[in-house]
Amino acid sequence: VPDEEALGKAASRIIAEQVQAQPDSVLALPTGRTPLRVYRELATLDQRGELDLHRVRFFHLDEFYPMATESPTSFQAFLWREFLSQVSIDRANVYFLNGLADDPAAECRRYEEQIAAVGGLDLVVLGIGVNGHIAFNEPGSPFDSRTRLVTLCPESRAASAYLFPSAEEVPRQGLTMGIGTIMEGHRILLIAVGERKARAVSESLGDSLTPALPASFLRQHPDLTVILDQEAASLLKRV
C-alpha cells in the first residue's frame, strides 16, 4: 500500500471482516507504533456503528517483565489507551499477561490455557521488530516455542525506549506468546511501516527460513497476509 494511512484502512478492513464473519472472534493484538492507525480506523468504524466488538475476545501478544499492570508503560495500558478504551467492548473479554506475576512460568501456562479455553486464536495481528522479531520472540526463538519468559535483545529495548522516561528503565525481560502459539492462530496478519523495517521485512520474506529471523517462520503459515507501506517494502526483491 502507498502509505501508513492506506495500511490502517487495509488492515482494519481485514479485522472488521473477520469480526463480521465471526462476531465472537478471538483476536491477538500487538502494541507499538505500527498498529496505531489500524486502531484508529477500527475505533471510527465502531463509533459509526459499522462494527460490533461486544463479543470479540482480545489477547495481547506480549508484556514487559517485570511490569506493573497499572503502569502507563505496560503494554496492557498501551492497548487500553490506544484502542480498547476507544471502542465498545465487554471488559470480561480482555485477556492479558500479568507482568508482575511471581511465577512467570505459571503465568504463561495460565495464558496458554486461556487461549485454549476460548477455542484458540482466530486472527493474530503482528508487527515486526527491526531484528525480525515477532511479539517478543527474539532471534533464536524456536519454531515450537510457547508463551514464556524471554530476555530482550538490546535492539528491542532500544526500540521501546520511547515508552519510558529513560532507556535504562526499559525492562530486560518480557512475557510473550511463543512462535508455536502464534502459528496455531487460524489466520495471521503481519503489518510493517517505514524504512527502518525494510531490511527485516525483505530478509524475513525473501531469504531462508531461519530462527535468526523469527518472522521468516510465518511463511509456513497457510493463511498469512502481509501489508507493507512503500518504505517497508522497499528492499523486497522483485520476482
Residues forming the site for ligand GLP (CB under 6 A): 30-34, 61-62, 127, 129, 135-136, 156, 159-160
Exactly one of 41, 46, 62, 229 is catalytic; name it.
62
Minimum CB separation from ligand GLP for residue 108, in Å?
A: 15
Minimum CB separation from ligand GLP for residue 129, in Å?
A: 5
Cα radius of gyration (the chain) = 17
33 or 219, CB closer to ligand GLP?
33
Minimum CB separation from ligand GLP for residue 60, in Å?
A: 9
60 catalytically annotated: no
Number of H helices, E strands in the chain: 7, 9
**Cell digits for 225?**
497476509
19 or 28, CB closer to ligand GLP?
28
Q: Cα dist. 139→28, 152, 154, 157, 172 in Å?
A: 21, 10, 12, 14, 15
3-state secondary structure of 95: strand
Minimum CB separation from ligand GLP for residue 49, in Å?
A: 29
Exactly one of 82, 93, 98, 131 is catalytic; name it.
131
Exactly one of 133, 137, 203, 229 is catalytic; name it.
133
The answer for 61, left when phi > 0, alpha when psi is -120 to 50, beta otherwise, is alpha
**Cell digits for 32?**
507499538
62 catalytically annotated: yes
133 catalytically annotated: yes
57 or 75, CB closer to ligand GLP?
75
Minimum CB separation from ligand GLP for residue 20, in Å?
A: 25
57 or 197, CB closer to ligand GLP?
197
52 catalytically annotated: no
Nearest to 164 by CA among 72, 236, 70: 72
CB 131 within 8 A of CB 155: yes
Exactly one of 41, 46, 63, 138 is catalytic; name it.
138
43 or 75, CB closer to ligand GLP?
75
Q: Cα dist. 214→127, 172, 218, 221 in Å?
A: 12, 19, 8, 13
Q: Which residues participate in catalysis according to the annotation?
A: 62, 131, 133, 138
